[in-house]
Structure 1
Amino acid sequence: MVLPNPFRRSDENTVTVWGYSFQWTPEHLTREQMEPMKHTYDRLADECLTRLNEISPTPQKALPRTTDREARKRKDGKENPKRDLYILLRDNADKDEKLAELWNQVNTVPDWVDWDQIERGQEVFYRYGIPALKGLGFESLLGGMGAGRIVETLARTGGFSSKVARHRMFETAQFIFQVTMSLKDIQPGGDGFASAVRVRLLHAAVRARILNLAQTRPEYYSVEKLGIPVNDLDCIGTIASFSTLLIWGSLPRQGIFLREQEIKDYIALWKLVAYYLGVPTEPFDTPQKARSMLESILVHEVKPTEMSKILANNIITSLENTPPAWGSRGFLEAITRWLNGKDLSDRLGIGNPAYYYYGLVLGYCFFVSLWCYVQRTFPFLDRRHIARMRRHFWKIILNEKVGLGEEAKFDFKYVPGYDLTTKQGAKTERMRQSFGIELLGFLGLAGATVTTAAIGTIGYATYLKSQWGWKLMKI
């Protein structure tokens, strides 16, 4: 919940946006300074995508929905293997100048990379695993739908309809798990590295498709108004939502505050991910620069539209009473409001559930914050907790009934088309099969109640003793 800070002093430089207050400094960007970033993008990835399409053309039957099973079927009824742009790039890098340029770029480790720091940054994510995932899901992604300009690109892919939004979020979770799983995974040649390159080329494919459609029908997408699809500013905002927003937004609102070294390490990790993705890394040179960029984006870019409402509510509909969290709609709406605040939640059309659900969210925050603080206090518990979270999260991704069932290759699955948009999904009734995340709320609320009662009893007993010499009865 966005609570006011009673110790904060406001002056002419204090800015409050969507319930978040900060001091405006020269490091923050004006609207005019941010405007050019809407029209710059990863040109190298676009050029390489063109080369890769020439080497291995996309099956025509795969449009406008590529990589479905029907499009991959051969005449003999068997399926062709999925086209993997990372493998294509790797295997053809020595045959084309542009492909070689991209391959050499991503495989060249920048001088500013400290692998020990990157490994510590990976551990930060799992140290605060459950609250970190809740922050990424309900503030970074769902709350991020408040960025109305970016939503126009997402809506044109159909990737956030109520039927597929959950699958889309699991793909995002897989990407995060892969870049944080181990140091080997994030280094060149690792699984996280490969996924980052795939996502980079996927962004190029989405960009090319929308721009091609806009050339034929200018009314389909306005580059002048919305900027280039998946532009530099959009990508910087995405990295910021996965890193900076988690540090100064999602986790503090769940009662968790990172230590200074943890902040530096986590920002450094996502700066490296940004480098692999072809995203400008300068905004993440220091934690303060990263925070200033996030706050500038909050001021200038978070402007919800009607489409923002549709996509945000589709996410809740797709997650309602589904594993592994098994959260009811009331709980999901309560935690969304807790993390994003009343103003933004109202603009996104998020329902206002009964106070009972806010009590559960309060109990959940008490439970996870206490759990995380205890774990990180003792090194042996911290190491065991991080290892357990890594195993548990990845097991969920590979579970057919709960997660994806297999590793996603980030292929061009949600392809923009003239007649394709995202509509409001109908609410569905699903039978809950487990208490899930709400059980943590019950436990936390019960624990907080017992703790408060115990402290009150001890305090009252101490008061009585000091006033009247009250003593415990001897038996």
Structure 2
Amino acid sequence: MAIPNPFRRHDENTRQAWGYTFQWTPEHPTREEMHPMKYSYDIVGEEALNRLDIISPPLSAELPRNQNRGPSQIGVTKPKRDLYALLKEHHAEDEKLGELWNEVNTVPEWVDWEQISRGQEVFYRYGGVALTALAFQSLLGGMGAGRVTEVLARTGGFSTKVARHRLYETTQHILQVTQSLDSIKPGGVGHASSIRVRLLHAAVRRRITKLAAEKPSYYSIEELGIPINDLDCIATIGTFSATLIWLGFPRQGIWIRDQEVQDYIALWRLVAYYMGTPTEPFETPAKAKRMMESLLVTEITPTATSKVLANNIILSLKGQAPTYASRDFLNANARWLNGNELADALGLGRPGLYYYALVVGQCIFFFENKTHGLGEETVFDFKYVPSFSLTTEEGVYEESATKQTGIEKRNFRTLVAASAALAVISYLGMRTTWGIVGGLRNWWGV
């Protein structure tokens, strides 16, 4: 939760957006300056995808999920199409494939591998804090971006049944790009997964654009922009980097050093390059911070769809391994990291003070400590295909009287231990203070 700072400067340049206060400068990107990026996108990636579809046509599994299968398809499991593997195999045969392959395998001159390695270390140094912020702020809070949720809802990928899997896929990608220095270099697992996500984005963009051309009421490009456009991709990279540094970490009691900030931003600038995202906003930490602030002001506009997707994320995590967290504790986390204003706009529940106390215990645990998942490694295949009949519906909460388990029990024990330690320190401090006072009284003969 945002804590007011009485020492913060307030003048005509002070801006406040969703519990975050900052100073607007002439260098901040304006709404008008960012607007054209809603209609530009990764052309190189999409042209390569078109050629890959000719070489290896999409499988029938890439048809709408609600489409009936014929008798010959029942019980037949077809292999997943790995677009990165296809690109690697055929890049020398086609000009467009070669263009993409050469781009993603050419290391930009601004890359300092030692700095990239340090950036990866930052993630693991604050791993628990980072993953919590990514789940409850970057992803769940990101549902406040009304334009983006219109694309996500049309994929059906954030229904309650599959939202958790999408969370795991996102986490897998983050872990792969931070795994090791070799993982982020060309040919590494993080490098490959970034390209797979890039081609997946191209597939979703192309599909929604095609449906919009057939039925303009399905999706308005004029109003919402090209699906998964440059501005959306910049915002996504920002939520994984700048948002963590200047929102997610501080709201959990962590402020990282300037060198760590530089290193972490540099890491995600490289990931942006691999994914076909403009890298200019991440050239320096100052630029990344200003872009984050401009996007908070202009792009976080929660809609009814935002509420559906945000609550589906909460529902998908409720009572699930490895945390076994309750709905109230999940909502408390979301409110702590996003603030009540945004949480109310997303329609999140208001838990009691007890659950906020558990979040405090969690922050203390992270401060003191600086076998579940996907089931298999994903190749980011085109699983949730936009169609006219496909959207994302809000899930239904089923309350259960379960006892405190998992992460909540850990946080409660941490809070109790920290409170006891604080009480002892306070008691000893008072005794020391009174001892000093007594000594002074004796010295003065009072």
TM over 0.5: yes
The aligned residue for residue 293 of structure 2 is: 295
TM superposition shift of 1:369: 1.4
Instruction: Kindly indicate whether residue 443 of structure 2 is the aligned counterpart of residue 451 of structure 1.
Output: no
The aligned residue for residue 84 of structure 2 is: 86
> In structure 2, what residue type is equivalent to 1:209?
R
Closer, same or farther in 2 for the Cα pair 1:99/1:355, shift >3 Å? Answer: same
TM superposition shift of 1:466: 2.8
Number of matched residues?
A: 440
Partners of 1:132 and 1:250 within 8 A in 2: yes
Question: Equivalent residue of 2:52, what SS?
Answer: helix
Question: Equivalent residue of 1:9, what SS?
Answer: coil
Partners of 1:264 and 1:287 within 8 A in 2: yes
Closer, same or farther in 2 for the Cα pair 1:23/1:271, shift >3 Å? Answer: same
The aligned residue for residue 394 of structure 2 is: 424
Partners of 1:254 and 1:365 within 8 A in 2: yes
Instruction: Kindly indicate whether residue 202 of structure 2 is the aligned counterpart of residue 207 of structure 1.
Output: no
> In structure 2, what residue type is equivalent to 1:416?
P
TM superposition shift of 1:444: 2.6
The aligned residue for residue 99 of structure 1 is: 97
Deviations, residues 139-176 of structure 1 (Å, cap 9, x unaligned)? 00000000001110000001101111001100000000
TM superposition shift of 1:432: 5.8
TM superposition shift of 1:434: 7.5
The aligned residue for residue 444 of structure 2 is: none
TM superposition shift of 1:468: 3.4
The aligned residue for residue 29 of structure 1 is: 29
Instruction: Kindly indicate whether residue 155 of structure 2 is the aligned counterpart of residue 157 of structure 1.
Output: yes
The aligned residue for residue 385 of structure 1 is: none
Closer, same or farther in 2 for the Cα pair 1:414/1:6, shift >3 Å? Answer: same
Deviations, residues 311-330 of structure 1 (Å, cap 9, x unaligned)? 00000000001011111111
Question: Equivalent residue of 1:219, what SS?
Answer: coil
The aligned residue for residue 377 of structure 1 is: none
Aligned match for 2:384, one of 414, 417, 423 = 414
- After superposition, residues 252-271 of structure 1 pair within 5 angstroms as 252-271=250-269
Closer, same or farther in 2 for the Cα pair 1:334/1:72, shift >3 Å? Answer: farther
Partners of 2:62 and 2:382 within 8 A in 1: no
Partners of 2:314 and 2:331 within 8 A in 1: yes
**Mapped partners of 1:74, 1:45: distance in 2:** 34
Deviations, residues 178-222 of structure 1 (Å, cap 9, x unaligned)? 000011111101111110010000000000000010111000000
Instruction: Kindly indicate whether residue 19 of structure 2 is the aligned counterpart of residue 5 of structure 1.
Output: no
Unpaired runs of 5+ in structure 2?
441-446
TM superposition shift of 1:464: 2.4
Deviations, residues 230-282 of structure 1 (Å, cap 9, x unaligned)? 00000000000000000000011000111111100000000000000000000
**Mapped partners of 1:370, 1:200: distance in 2:** 37
TM superposition shift of 1:55: 0.7
Per the normalisation by structure 1, the TM-score is: 0.89
Closer, same or farther in 2 for the Cα pair 1:144/1:462, shift >3 Å? Answer: same
The aligned residue for residue 145 of structure 2 is: 147
Deviations, residues 90-143 of structure 1 (Å, cap 9, x unaligned)? 111011000000000000000000111111111111111111100000000000
Deviations, residues 393-432 of structure 1 (Å, cap 9, x unaligned)? xxxxxx4xx2111100000011001011111101135686
Per the normalisation by structure 2, the TM-score is: 0.95
Unpaired runs of 5+ in structure 1?
373-398, 471-475
Instruction: Kindly indicate whether residue 433 of structure 2 is the aligned counterpart of residue 463 of structure 1.
Output: yes
Partners of 1:145 and 1:304 within 8 A in 2: yes
Partners of 1:161 and 1:311 within 8 A in 2: yes
Report the identity percentage. Answer: 59
Aligned match for 1:171, one of 139, 149, 169 = 169
Partners of 1:317 and 1:427 within 8 A in 2: yes
**Mapped partners of 2:368, 2:71: distance in 1:** 52
> In structure 2, what residue type is equivalent to 1:127?
R
Closer, same or farther in 2 for the Cα pair 1:76/1:215, shift >3 Å? Answer: closer
> In structure 2, what residue type is equivalent to 1:443?
R
Partners of 1:161 and 1:314 within 8 A in 2: yes
Aligned match for 1:280, one of 274, 278, 281 = 278
Aligned match for 2:364, one of 366, 379, 396 = 366
Deviations, residues 349-401 of structure 1 (Å, cap 9, x unaligned)? 010001100111111112211322xxxxxxxxxxxxxxxxxxxxxxxxxx4xx
> In structure 2, what residue type is equivalent to 1:464?
W
Question: Equivalent residue of 1:220, what SS?
Answer: coil
The aligned residue for residue 59 of structure 1 is: 59
Partners of 2:153 and 2:392 within 8 A in 1: yes
TM superposition shift of 1:81: 2.0
The aligned residue for residue 384 of structure 1 is: none
The aligned residue for residue 218 of structure 2 is: 220
TM superposition shift of 1:73: 11
TM superposition shift of 1:229: 0.1
Question: Equivalent residue of 1:269, what SS?
Answer: helix
Across the aligned residues of Structure 1 and Structure 2, the Cα RMSD in angstroms comes to 2.0
**Mapped partners of 2:22, 2:353: distance in 1:** 29
